[in-house]
Amino acid sequence: MADLSYLDAVILGVVEGLTEYLPVSSTGHLTITEKLLGLEVDAPAVTAYTAVIQLGAIAATLIYFFKDIVRFARAWFRGLASAEGRRDPDYGLAWAVVIGSLPVGVVGFLARDLIAGALRSLWVVAAALVLWSAVMVVSERMHTTYERRAAVRGEHSVTPVDGLVIGLVQCFSLIPGVSRSGATISAGLARGIDRVTATRLSFFLAIPALTAAGVFQAAEQQDALVDLGIGPMIVGLVVAFAVAYASIAWLLRFVASNSLLSFVWYRVGLGLVLAVVLGAGWLSAT
């Protein structure tokens, strides 16, 4: 396979950075973009590259939330060491992140061949974009019910059970087109967690999930990645980092006073357009 060009790397980095944390599916958008660029979307090197440039977005998350991450880590270790530490609300939230990170790691490892193979079809992306949008609508309605009852919970009321439920729902994001943030934020809203907290929790859950995926894919496909080009890979990482950092700041401001429904309209529109394009034979699914 020909090396990935620097222009390809910049385009993919921008797409990754823009869509990783928005509930529109970064994997789905990357798959579509790769196809339009003439890349083999189910080739091992391309699949690995998709996972590796996510590390740029993860670096943006680590830097943006560094103080929070340090705070949660300290609370977690203090809680493990003393009963007084376990009364800290941050201790429960830290456990929510730890527990919530486990399911997607297990499922992702066991289903890695399916994820990198059959699920890379653009038909899967089109279907998932539309079908998961229905889940997002339902979660918004559930959250509205919590708001009417004045039962919405904040960051200090997040529990390990919340983490487990959100972590299980996060497993659906392994299907291209679902969206990891769309899955986790929706699950948080359905649990009655306020919008900003659900979004922040989605970011925290992304760190172990995406880091593990990127490192594993890089190690497994290191020879194929070298064939694609080390230079373009670094460019993609840097671009993804810069764009993702800006996207995080924007999304936190947006969700503070807006629902996910605007993203639903976009998802459904894109999914339907993609289905038409595939059905007409203007673009192949793999």
Share of the chain above pLDDT 90, in %: 49
What does the pLDDT read at residue 224?
A: 67
Is the pLDDT confidence value at 219 over 90? no
Cβ-based neighbour number of residue 86 at 10 Å: 15
What are the helix and strand counts (H, E) for the chain?
14, 0
- Higher model confidence: residue 130 or residue 258? 130
Is the pLDDT confidence value at 257 over 90? no
The three-class DSSP label of residue 193 is strand
- Higher model confidence: residue 52 or residue 1? 52
Average pLDDT over residues 46-64: 84
Is the pLDDT confidence value at 122 over 70? yes
Estimate the crossing angle of helix 44-52 against helix 26-36, to 10 degrees.
130
The model's confidence at residue 35, banded by pLDDT at 50, 70 and 90, is confident
In whole angstroms, what is the distance from residue 55 CA to residue 5 CA?
19
What does the pLDDT read at residue 3?
A: 60
Please say whether the beta carbons of 98 and 201 come within 8 A.
Answer: no
The three-class DSSP label of residue 99 is helix
- Higher model confidence: residue 111 or residue 153? 153
Arithmetic mean of pLDDT over the chain:
88
In whole angstroms, what is the distance from residue 36 CA to residue 273 CA?
14
Q: Give the tens place of pLDDT for each residue, 172-197.
A: 998 989 999 999 999 999 999 999 99
Average pLDDT over residues 246-266: 89
CA-CA-CA-CA dihedral for 259, 260, 262, 263, to nearest 10: 160
In whole angstroms, what is the distance from residue 265 CA to residue 259 CA?
12
Closest CA to 164 of 184, 192, 139, 194: 184
Closest CA to 218 of 54, 70, 78, 75: 54
Closest CA to 188 of 7, 23, 27: 23
**Residue-wise burial string across 199-232, b where 16 or more C-beta atoms lie within 10 A, e elsewhere:** bbbbbbbbbbbbbbbbebbbebbeebbebbbeeb
Q: Which residues contact 218 (CB under 8 A, 6 or more apart)?
A: 48, 51, 52, 225
Q: What would the two tokens of residue 248 be?
A: 């995080």
The angle subtended at Cα 112 by Cα 131 and Cα 272, nearest 5°, is 25
Please say whether the beta carbons of 186 and 131 come within 8 A.
Answer: no
Please say whether the beta carbons of 107 and 101 come within 8 A.
Answer: no
In whole angstroms, what is the distance from residue 252 CA to residue 229 CA?
34
**Residue-wise burial string across 250-286, b where 16 or more C-beta atoms lie within 10 A, e elsewhere:** ebbebbeeebbeebbeebbebbeebbeebeeeeeebe
What does the pLDDT read at residue 123?
A: 92
Share of the chain above pLDDT 70, in %: 94
Cβ-based neighbour number of residue 33 at 10 Å: 19
| Sequence letter at residue 175 | I
Is the pLDDT confidence value at 263 over 80? yes
What does the pLDDT read at residue 266?
A: 94
- DSSP annotation of 276: H
What does the pLDDT read at residue 212?
A: 78
What does the pLDDT read at residue 1?
A: 43
Q: Give the tens place of pLDDT for each residue, 91-100.
A: 989 999 999 9
